[in-house]
Amino acid sequence: MATISKQPTARDAILSSDGAKDVAPPAAALSHTELQETPMCSKITSLLCLPSCICSWFVLNEGEHKIVLNTGVPVMEVKEPGIYYATCFFREIRSVSTKKTCVEVRHCKVADHDGNPVIVSAVIVAEVVVPRKALMDVANWVVFVKQQSLTILRNIVSQYSFESRDGSPSLRSDTAHINERLASSLEQVARPIGVRVVSFRLDEISYSPEIASLMLKRQAAKAIVDARRVIVDGAVSLSQGAVTALREKGVKLTSVQSARLANNLLTVLCSTDDD
């Protein structure tokens, strides 16, 4: 049977938040709730009702951590798998998993740096490293981390454009850098409650449906312009090459004839089936 840690010292009061809007207070500002002795009323009740001993045993599985409270006071903390005893009268058992947990943030609508609405999804991988904080300092650490991640996601994504036209960082081209910023920001919030953020990665990025069709048209127009530019560059090179080749072969062309020849070649080479 694993060792049960007990400390008969007075319980520290849990400090409340300092009023910060998004970021939780530093780890040093959060006190641990220390363990106390089981209240005498629970011990006496347990002795008077001996059959209750059967209901007082509980099991701790691998990858779990439990804290036992009696009359609202933490009296026992179990860390290693095994079977334990704590009187069932006035008892409350809080359990938390110490395994890695995946938290999904789905379809969050954010305005990017250009003001365009985009839909962003992300996946967070986190684990509890200080179970007592995760159990006593927040009601549900998964909900806490998810709500904080929404605020961080909106804040950071709004600093980037969906697509970059001048080579600056964007949501599509600098995903790795953005993931590092997301994980670092969430780690600062999650650390004080005993949670370590393993990763915070963007999973899906797309334009919001109300502007998706307009953006597709813009992308199609940009593709057409790029294709025309390639055709024109190639036609100019071919026209220059044709005029140079004729002169090297001894064909004398005046400036007017050279311009007319180049114009005819450009017309033929740049024309398309739709023209």
Please tell me the distance from the alpha carbon of residue 105 to that of residue 124, in angstroms, as a whole number: 8
Percent of the chain exceeding pLDDT 70 equals 77
CB 92 within 8 A of CB 14: no
What value, to the nearest 5°, has the Cα angle with vertex 148 and ends 183 and 153? 55
- How far apart CA 163 and CA 147 sit, in angstroms, is 27
DSSP reduced 3-state for 77: strand
Q: Which two tokens stand for residue 153?
A: 């996601």
Which comes out higher in pLDDT, residue 23 or 233? 233
Q: Which two tokens stand for residue 190?
A: 């999650």
> Can you tell me whether residue 273 is helix, strand or coil?
coil
- Judged against a pLDDT cut of 70, whether residue 33 lies above it is answered with no
Q: Inform me whether the pLDDT recorded for 243 exceeds 60.
A: yes
Is the pLDDT confidence value at 165 over 50? yes
What is the pLDDT at residue 197? 96
- pLDDT of 174 over the 80 cut: yes
On whether the CB atoms of residues 117 and 210 are closer than 8 A, the answer is yes
CA atoms within 13 A on the CB side of 263: 6
Average pLDDT, the chain: 78
> Is the model's pTM score more than 0.85?
no
Q: In what order do the strands lie in the sheet with 101-111?
A: 101-111, 117-128, 195-207
Q: Which residue has the tokens 């209750």?
A: 52
pLDDT at position 39: 58
pLDDT on residue 210: 74
pLDDT of residue 37: 64
The residue among 228 and 200 whose pLDDT is bigger is: 200
**2 or 213, which is more confident:** 213
Three-state SS for 46-76 is HHHCHHHHHHHEEEECCCEEEEEEECCEEEE
Residue 97 pLDDT > 90, yes or no? Answer: yes
**Contact (Cβ atoms closer than 8 angstroms) between residue 120 and residue 152:** no
Concatenating the DSSP letter of every residue in 131-184 gives HHHHHHT-S-HHHHHHHHHHHHHHHHHTTSBSS-SSS--BTTT-HHHHHHHHHH
The per-residue pLDDT for range 120-132, each reduced to its tens digit, is 999 999 999 999 9
DSSP letter assigned to residue 89: T
Whether residue 89 has pLDDT greater than 60: yes
